[in-house]
């Protein structure tokens, strides 16, 4: 992969290759690495801004630390593309997020240089402390470095981990990658110089001596000495909180200046006791090629032209489910001023940025704090507001206890909008909304809806707004709708009532959510085989439409349920209902179609669903394979059975 534009990067296969580079060569390497990152993401699309912000830090870490023996943990993984390029994966970097290619996040099975898999934020400090503790118990000797962004520090888990780490004597280094200027002002040479002094082992020992000496000074002089020591350690610029949690604070430091980073990291490597927090200031998206400004600094981008920066986004044929949800919620809020919206640091991802533009005083972004978001909404519900909590299905998992204890147990009318339900394409298994039907369906009192198209979603938002006697959830997929005509405003649905979409006689397909179109395709294919097929849209996963299920069971020989969720979800509700009514005792053949009992890797969504066995061809195959069982059941059951 030799490239005349990247002569130094071409010499790096693994991090050991760059450890002999001079500081000047490392600076050139960083420039080449940034160029390579931009070029790779232009081909694949993906998370660009965070990686561009940590190029120099990535180079410095792999130059100073003995990876993979020393463990470097990248929180979330958005920022790990440059890391992947330096750790033996450059030849595959243009397969990022493609079927069979590299993951968009860190993954243990992908490389020894990924000591911990991460795609959800704020896990790095906990994992790092676990590794450091295991090292100490086993008598090993290596460094542990956790790199966490300032946004991830808004999650409670990060502080739980820091509180635990601060109370221990295990040595580890936490690098706070501050790319939003949210804590510290701009830093310069003096700050970097002081941080180098503070990081030195000699200063660590002298610090205690200085404190003891200061206590012997007159009070005014003691205060002056303490103030100087605080200034030298950066406390006046943001370190106080971290010191109170038991960390030795160093910084802030310019994260793009290798002359500052390298000596500090060298002094911190191998520090014998306790946790250290190094605060580095970086610019998210540094060096991006895009001509226009963007508030999110190109966090995630489509494929783009490296020269012009123009992104090649495909033309949408229908609005996205996210956009339909946002517009529907705005329509409901226009008619009801008690409706409020809550998001956990994902306003654009959930569509609530549109709601916030219209009703800024009624939209609340609580940061990466899903647990708080749920209980915050529960508190608002007790006072008569109508909160909609918009969180990706995969992220609501982080707040499950709050959903159970603070919402369901108290039967509070909190409304959950679960975006990215089902499989999600390039983000892979870590972001798939596979489990919400199972983890919400077991909770008493929950109403759970899943639209089969964007018009149904609009009606379900109206339905959720009208439910005021308990919790509810509507789950909807990522991407575009199917292109149906949208009403100006939704109409509340009758709770727990599905609908028949196509009438048949032999096989019944009961679909929940976005697989309805595939069920209709399967029905066409079955009709070509002479098999008359009913297609029904369940609409509600809970309460299920028992009358509809009973009708399908009595009027058809085969009943197949189809859902974009794991075992334990909608099909379990249907089978439980059939069993308690005795409808499984009379020869009915039932086949539940769910996501398989394994994680589905990243790929195009249509290919993921094919792998999962949830496309039209798989539905047809399931129906045809059930026919021998159907004939056997008919031989064993009297003609009057099921009446």
Which among 266, 268, 272 has a CA at the least distance from the CA of 249?
Answer: 268
DSSP structure class, residue 541: E
Query: What backbone phi and psi angles, to 5 degrees, belong to 348?
Result: -75, -35
- In angstroms and rounded to an integer, the radius of gyration of the C-alpha atoms of the chain is 28
3 state SS of 466? helix
Query: What backbone phi and psi angles, to 5 degrees, belong to 249?
Result: -90, 135
**387 CB-near residues (< 8 Å, 6+ apart):** 340, 341, 342, 377, 378, 380, 381, 414, 415
Token representation of residue 639: 């003609």
Token representation of residue 24: 């000047």
Which among 555, 556, 536 has a CA at the least distance from the CA of 626?
Answer: 556
Give yes or no for a contact between 499 and 536, defined as CB atoms under 8 angstroms apart.
yes
**390 CB-near residues (< 8 Å, 6+ apart):** 325, 341, 342, 343, 346, 350, 351, 352, 417, 419
CB atoms within 10 A of CB 375: 19
Which among 537, 559, 541, 540 has a CA at the least distance from the CA of 550?
Answer: 559
Give yes or no for a contact between 102 and 67, defined as CB atoms under 8 angstroms apart.
no
372 labeled part of a ligand binding site? no
Contacts of residues 621-627 at CB distance under 8 Å and 24 or more positions apart, as own/partner, are 622/560, 622/591, 622/593, 623/507, 623/509, 623/522, 623/526, 623/531, 623/533, 623/558, 623/560, 623/591, 624/526, 624/529, 624/531, 626/507, 626/558, 626/560, 626/589, 626/591, 627/531, 627/558
For residue 592, the cross-strand partners are 561
547 labeled part of a ligand binding site? no
How far is Cα 592 from Cα 567, in angstroms, rounded to an integer?
Answer: 9
Token representation of residue 626: 């059930």
How far is Cα 522 from Cα 515, in angstroms, rounded to an integer?
Answer: 10
Pairing of strands 507-512, 558-563: parallel
Detail the DSSP E strand segments found in 52-178: 71-74, 144-149, 172-178
78 labeled part of a ligand binding site? yes
By the 10 Å C-beta count (0-12 exposed, 13-18 middle, 19+ buried), 469 is classed as: exposed
257 labeled part of a ligand binding site? no
3 state SS of 128? helix
Q: Which residues are catalytic?
A: 284, 370, 398
Residue where the block lists tokens 């939003």 = 180
3 state SS of 404? helix
Which among 501, 508, 495 has a CA at the least distance from the CA of 551?
Answer: 508
22 labeled part of a ligand binding site? no
Binding residues: 78, 150-152, 179, 288, 370
From the annotation, which residues make up the binding site for Mg(2+)?
Answer: 150, 179
């Amino acid at each position: 992969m030799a490239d005349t534009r990247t002569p130094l990067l071409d010499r790096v296969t693994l991090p050991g290759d760059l450890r002999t580079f001079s500081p000047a060569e490392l600076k050139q390497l960083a420039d080449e690495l940034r160029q390579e990152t931009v070029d790779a993401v232009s081909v694949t699309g993906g998370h660009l801004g965070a990686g561009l912000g940590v190029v120099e830090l990535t180079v410095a870490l792999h130059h100073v630390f003995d990876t993979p023996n020393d463990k470097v943990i990248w929180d979330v993984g958005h920022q790990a593309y440059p890391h992947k390029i330096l750790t033996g994966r450059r030849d595959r970097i243009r397969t990022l997020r493609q079927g069979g290619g590299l993951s968009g996040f860190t993954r243990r099975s992908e490389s020894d240089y990924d000591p911990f898999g991460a795609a959800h934020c704020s896990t790095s400090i906990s994992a790092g402390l676990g590794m450091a503790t295991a090292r100490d118990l086993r008598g090993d000797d290596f460094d542990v470095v956790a790199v966490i962004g300032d946004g991830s520090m808004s999650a409670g888990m990060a502080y739980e981990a820091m509180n635990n780490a601060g109370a221990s004597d295990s040595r580890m280094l936490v690098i706070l990658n501050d790319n939003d200027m949210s804590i510290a002002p701009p830093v310069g040479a003096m700050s970097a110089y002081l941080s180098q002094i503070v990081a030195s082992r000699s200063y660590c020992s002298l610090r205690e001596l200085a404190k003891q000496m200061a206590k012997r000074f007159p009070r005014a002089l003691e205060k002056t000495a303490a103030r100087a020591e605080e200034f030298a350690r950066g406390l006046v610029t943001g370190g106080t909180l971290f010191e109170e949690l038991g960390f030795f604070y160093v910084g802030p430091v310019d994260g793009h200046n290798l002359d500052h980073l390298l000596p500090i990291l060298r002094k911190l490597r191998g520090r014998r006791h306790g946790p250290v927090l190094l605060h580095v200031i970086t610019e998210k998206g540094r060096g991006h090629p895009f001509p226009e400004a963007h508030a999110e600094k190109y966090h995630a981008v489509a494929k783009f032209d490296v020269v012009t920066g123009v992104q090649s986004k495909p033309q949408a044929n229908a609005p996205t489910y996210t956009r339909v949800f946002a517009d529907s919620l705005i329509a409901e809020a226009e008619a009801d001023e008690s409706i409020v919206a809550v998001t956990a640091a994902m306003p654009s991802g959930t569509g609530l940025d549109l709601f916030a533009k219209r009703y800024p005083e009624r939209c609340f972004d609580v940061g990466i704090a899903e647990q708080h978001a749920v209980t915050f909404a529960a508190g608002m519900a007790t006072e008569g507001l109508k909160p909609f909590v918009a969180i990706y299905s995969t992220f609501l998992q982080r707040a499950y206890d709050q959903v159970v204890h603070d919402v369901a147990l108290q039967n509070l009318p909190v409304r959950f909008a679960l975006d990215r339900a089902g499989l999600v394409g390039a983000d892979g298994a870590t972001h798939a909304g596979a489990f919400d039907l199972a983890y919400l369906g077991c909770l008493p009192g929950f109403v759970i809806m899943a639209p089969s198209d964007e018009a149904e979603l609009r009606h379900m938002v109206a339905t959720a707004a009208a439910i005021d006697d308990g919790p509810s959830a509507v789950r909807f997929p990522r991407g575009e709708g199917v292109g149906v005509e949208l009403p100006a405003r939704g109409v509340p649905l009758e709770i727990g009532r599905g609908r028949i979409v196509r009438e048949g006689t032999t096989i019944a397909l009961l679909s929940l959510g976005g697989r309805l179109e595939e069920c209709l395709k399967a029905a066409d294919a079955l009709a070509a085989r002479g098999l008359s097929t009913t297609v029904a849209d369940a609409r509600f996963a809970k309460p299920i439409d028992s009358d509809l299920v009973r009708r399908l069971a009595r009027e058809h020989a085969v009943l197949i349920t189809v859902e974009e969720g794991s075992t334990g979800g909608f099909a379990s509700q249907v089978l439980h209902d059939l069993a308690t009514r005795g409808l499984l005792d009379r020869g009915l053949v039932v086949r539940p179609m769910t996501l398989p009992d394994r994680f589905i890797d990243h790929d195009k969504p249509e290919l993921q669903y094919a792998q999962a066995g949830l496309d039209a061809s798989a539905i047809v195959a399931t129906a045809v394979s059930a026919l021998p069982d159907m004939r056997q059941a008919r031989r064993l059951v009297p003609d009057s059975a099921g009446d």
